[in-house]
Amino acid sequence: MDGKTIFFKTSGWIFGFVVFVIGVINTFWGNDPVFGAAIVLASFVFIPPTGELFKKITGFAIPMAVKIILGVFILWAALGVGELFDKTDMMLTDLRQLFQ
């Protein structure tokens, strides 16, 4: 593997994990669990083994431009409209109460 491949795979894992966490927070501490579940499912688009499996099954790879547009939309929806910081604060409050 060359450096470019390693970079894209590593960034895919990191961004996929971040999107997954955003989806979990929206699912359990948001006012729209379906939206959160959709974000969790969308997170798998960014994880390299899932993309490879999708290509193997369908013969079609998801283009990088589609992944970038989807990523921007998810971040916009979570940070701007979805009030992610408020939901994260609710999650941390609940977890603090749980472990006290």
| Domain count within the chain | 1
The domain of 81 spans 3-98
73-90 pLDDT, tens digit each:
999 988 877 688 888 888
Q: How far apart are CA 20 and CA 25, in angstroms?
A: 9
pLDDT tens-digit readout, 86-95: 888 889 999 9
What pTM was estimated for this model as a whole? 0.85
Angle made by CA atoms 13, 56, 42, in degrees to the nearest 5: 40
